[in-house]
Amino acid sequence: MAVEVDQEIIVSPGWNAVWLAVDPIDGDGNQRSVESVFSHNDITHVATLRSPVDSEEFISEATEDPYNDELWKMWRKSSELDNDTLLTIAGYQAYLVRSDASGDISLTISGEARFETFDWSEDAYNLVGFQLTGSISFNSFFAGFTDTFPTNRIFQLKANGDWEGVNGTDLMESGVAYWIFCEGPTSFMGPIRVSFDGYDWLDFGANTDLTIADPQGLTGTETIDVSTREIVFKNISEAAHSPQLVKVEPTTTGNAALSDELRIYEIDPKPGELGYDVGVNGQIVDAFFDSIASGDSDFVTLGAYIHWSNGGSERENLYRLELGNNLYYWLPIVARNLSVTGGDDISGEPDYAGLWVGEVLIDEVSSVTEDGRPLSETSTTMPMRMIVHVDDTGGASLLSAVTVMQEKSADGEEQGDLVLVIENDKLDYFEGIEELSGKRVGKRIQTTSYDMPRDFTRTGQFELWTDFGYNEDYIDSPFVSAITNTDGLGYDGDLDGAIDLAIYGNYLYVTGYWSERLAIFDISDPANPTHVQSLAEGDNGITSLNSTGSGVKFVVEGDYGFLLDPVDDAIAVMDMANAVGGVPTVVSVLNHSDPNITDIDAPQDVALDGDYLYVAGWQTITVFDFSTPSSPTEVAFIKDENGGYSLLRSIRDLIVSEGYLYASAYTDDAVTIINVADPANPFLVSEIRDNVNGFQRLDGADAMLLDGNVLYVAVFREDSLTIIDVSDPANPVRLNQLLSTSNLNSATDLVLLNDVLYVAASTNNAVSAYDVADPTSISLIKRYSGGDFSGYSNGVSSIAPYGEYLFVNAYNSDAVTAIFRMNDLFRESDIRNYVNGQSSRPIILDENYHSSWPLSGSVEPGGLIETADGAPLDFDAFHRSNPFRHAFHKQHTSGYGIQRSLTMEFDLNSVGDRLTGAYSETVEGLAAFPISFVGQFTLKRVAPVAELQ
């Protein structure tokens, strides 16, 4: 929600310079067209400046069309659409408007009000206006600031289109724009500088933090709870000034204001007491704050009292913040009541699907000449427009351009549903949403701040892929065969709830959650697997195979198979090397009830290293001497909350390598590293835990995979993959992290082959292949789901490699499928690396670019999104936005690839259709070392459309 206000503008005959102090937005949240804002028939031209100017060359003799040059974007009433460079109107900027009327035109322009200050360009002329409550001379307005804004370098527009200098005694007019030269850097916003936590509104969130006496006694209780925020004032002028805050909306005053659903109070400390009470201004309706002397600072504490129980969770009041010298700014104030579930803004769980448009303001940057130097404050904020889309699953993507269209209606009268088009070849399928110069056109939203990477897929670079010997059938048709529960081949029902896979030799072993069977298949011909036998409890020495309430896991380590029953707390040890026709026999059983075993409650995993077997229980690790597999003997026992161990609840996976044991803990969100150089005397080395030492998103740590000194951890509850450098086990370091609700939702299993990591994700019903040749820069190669498994993909949780093939379970499909391992899979990164390594632009390199780029994480209060899967915005050496682009300059023959990695952390109190938060970005390749910058962002949902076309 946002409060709309009206701005009255007087347009005189000839040329006018106006300052628009509202943001004209239509009902769908889009910027309105020029002719709908400046709608009078006698308005013939509207122009706005592309960028500030650094000299007085703009002052010239009037011509018929004086603003027809590259400095201006122009709309002409008589022109065709294609000739206009100004199509829509944005608020809080200056416009030149020409009228052919014989007298003054009065325009009422409605738009959203927000707290918006001007970003001055130093040592340049800025076209800017101000919101004023009354007349004031230029000398008085800029008193004390004439060194920065010399009045002899301020110009006003004449009706004939010429600019003339003002006199210092001339009166300024509200809503009129002037050319004002800015000498050096400044953050001038009037005689008083204002700061508060937030962006273009003051957000009180939904949580109260202070109890005060009920100032009006209307609640029936002695106290009320309020949420507090501070506004800080700094007087940078030469005279004293008193800030003033005036309520504009709701329009209630006096006793009527006591019924406001959102009431704002001044809060002051109680004199001589530890506590707070309502200040002298009471409820803020028309409040004067204390006078602030020149050079002094002061702050005001405001408290928001939430007093509504229906009609939506969010309320917004609008205030006018007056800062002296007749200058004011709009100040929207927002608060929320999350206990209210009615209205349009809250419906059960908040839905953030749709198109979000906003701005990033960069205010700190690292040095481009000195590596490692701390970030420093910028002389002025750098704005970057951002466009983010969220689909109906919560998946976010970054866009550089989108056109808002609508479905074509059958009769041409009824308005169709809105659509968001990012593929230009689909524009003809839809129709425009507004009339412009007699044509129906779409609403184009774009940004130059975030270009998209080049499309290196086979479709985008067909000639390059062909030149490299791309085999379409081999890569795009991975399905080989499926083993289903109802093949009618004698094992019907044995795959009921197929939950775990293991392979030994030419045989596949599958456990069933519901079947309580170990099904065995000959896969020597993966295209035609054959059933060998299914083992149940009592067969071949199996004493326990109870899956009720949990899933039996079958693990192959060395020449032994381990059938883990977490219900009956037992492990059947099976001799795989001497299996007859693939059917193994139990050689020993480890049982929780064995008096010689301390505890193997609910066994989850095993790891075999030489003569020692490590068994993970629910919160224990037992070490067995396995030199005699028929009679393993316990030699050591580790338990959570004992002996210094504190993060071993719900162990999911064990890995042992070179004297170290790694244990992932699902409930404790951690990985524990243990020294087992002497298996009989293990000791704790280090613990990797969620939100400690730079590690994040380990909630539900599950499967692990160790490749040399790199540990990969699949995180089930965080839809993520964490990559860790364990070259020093005592000091593990996070190398990288992938977040993807589309590819890693409930990640459960990992397989690595030839620098390709395969990740099974059960909620996604998918297996995703990642290029991990460089673990610090991982990219998605391909995602396999649905048709790739011939439909047998519901409940993917376990994968197992077999030569060229990958076997995948489907728990809810009661099936196992085999797909090509694709170890000859040609990766997009290979094409990209080839292009970046060329000394000149390859002739067959196509100028095709992605229309969107995936962002991992979630768009929600307290959430985080970032460039997905470790894949930054990658600008190859010949990319259209790469500043090197040496191929396009005759004096250069080589270039550098550039990567942009960005992160957006949403404020916890952001709710509704406006979200704010902290922004950070790192750019590599632009300088000898990475450049980092940070700032704040705000996003507003402008269209609740969950699908992109």
Residue whose structure tokens are 């983010």: 388
**Residue 520, pLDDT score:** 92
Check whether 82 has a pLDDT greater than 90.
no
The stretch 831-854 carries a mean pLDDT of 80
Residue pair 89/107 in contact (Cβ under 8 Å)? The answer is no
**Residue 693, pLDDT score:** 84
Check whether 216 has a pLDDT greater than 80.
no
CA–CA dist 264, 317 (Å, integer): 9
Check whether 706 has a pLDDT greater than 80.
yes
Residue pair 636/615 in contact (Cβ under 8 Å)? The answer is no
Residue whose structure tokens are 């395969």: 758
**Residue 317's beta-bridge partner residues?**
333
pLDDT band at 348 (very low <50, low <70, confident <90, very high): very low
**Residue 473, pLDDT score:** 39
Higher-confidence position of 453 and 210 = 453
**Residue 948, pLDDT score:** 86
Q: What is the pLDDT of residues 626-651, one digit of tens each?
A: 999 999 999 999 999 898 999 999 99
CA–CA dist 127, 163 (Å, integer): 12
Q: What is the pLDDT of residues 117-171, one digit of tens each?
A: 888 888 888 899 999 999 899 999 999 898 999 999 999 988 888 889 999 999 9
**Residue 419's beta-bridge partner residues?**
405
Compute, in degrees rounded to 10, the torsion defined by CA atoms 396, 397, 403, 407: -50
**Residue 440, pLDDT score:** 73
Check whether 472 has a pLDDT greater than 50.
no
The stretch 802-827 carries a mean pLDDT of 72
Residue pair 163/155 in contact (Cβ under 8 Å)? The answer is yes
- Burial (CB count within 10 angstroms: exposed 0-12, middle 13-18, buried 19+), residue 508: buried
CA–CA dist 557, 654 (Å, integer): 12
Tokens of 508: 């596949």
CB atoms within 10 A of CB 563: 27
CA–CA dist 384, 365 (Å, integer): 14
- Burial (CB count within 10 angstroms: exposed 0-12, middle 13-18, buried 19+), residue 458: middle
Tokens of 128: 């800017």
Residue pair 177/128 in contact (Cβ under 8 Å)? The answer is yes
Residue pair 247/319 in contact (Cβ under 8 Å)? The answer is yes
**Residue 689's beta-bridge partner residues?**
670
Q: How far is CA 197 from CA 97, 203, 284, 935, 936, in A?
A: 36, 8, 19, 13, 10
Residue whose structure tokens are 């065969």: 481
pLDDT band at 201 (very low <50, low <70, confident <90, very high): confident
**Residue 810, pLDDT score:** 83
CB atoms within 10 A of CB 44: 17
CA–CA dist 560, 545 (Å, integer): 17
Tokens of 911: 């709710």
**DSSP 3-state of 46:** strand
Higher-confidence position of 854 and 687 = 687
> Which region holds residue 885: left if phi is over 0, alpha if psi is between -120 and 50, else beta?
left
Residue pair 472/483 in contact (Cβ under 8 Å)? The answer is no
With residue 873 as reference, give the H or E element that holds it: strand 873-875
Residue 882: DSSP 8-state: -
| Runs of H (alpha helix) within 347-412 | none
Q: What is the pLDDT of residues 643-682, one digit of tens each?
A: 899 999 999 999 999 999 999 999 999 999 999 999 999 9
Residue pair 713/706 in contact (Cβ under 8 Å)? The answer is no
Amino acid code (one letter) for 47: A
**What is the end-to-end Cα distance of the chain in Å, rounded?**
27
Check whether 415 has a pLDDT greater than 80.
no
CA–CA dist 296, 829 (Å, integer): 57
- Burial (CB count within 10 angstroms: exposed 0-12, middle 13-18, buried 19+), residue 108: exposed
| Average predicted confidence (pLDDT) for the chain | 83
**pLDDT exceeding 90 applies to what percent of the chain?**
29
Q: What is the pLDDT of residues 711-736, one digit of tens each?
A: 999 999 888 899 999 999 999 999 88
**Residue 246, pLDDT score:** 92
CA–CA dist 295, 288 (Å, integer): 19
Check whether 710 has a pLDDT greater than 90.
yes
CB atoms within 10 A of CB 335: 28
pLDDT band at 555 (very low <50, low <70, confident <90, very high): very high
**Has this prediction a pTM greater than 0.95?**
no
Q: CB within 8 A of 217, min separation 6: which ones?
A: none
Higher-confidence position of 273 and 765 = 765
Residue whose structure tokens are 């040749």: 773
**Residue 739, pLDDT score:** 84
CA–CA dist 431, 562 (Å, integer): 63
pLDDT band at 683 (very low <50, low <70, confident <90, very high): very high
CA–CA dist 279, 290 (Å, integer): 12
**Residue 276, pLDDT score:** 79
Compute, in degrees rounded to 10, the torsion defined by CA atoms 590, 591, 597, 599: 120
Check whether 382 has a pLDDT greater than 60.
yes
Q: How far is CA 806 from CA 241, 705, 757, in A?
A: 74, 16, 12
CA–CA dist 588, 594 (Å, integer): 12
pLDDT band at 53 (very low <50, low <70, confident <90, very high): low
**Residue 218, pLDDT score:** 57
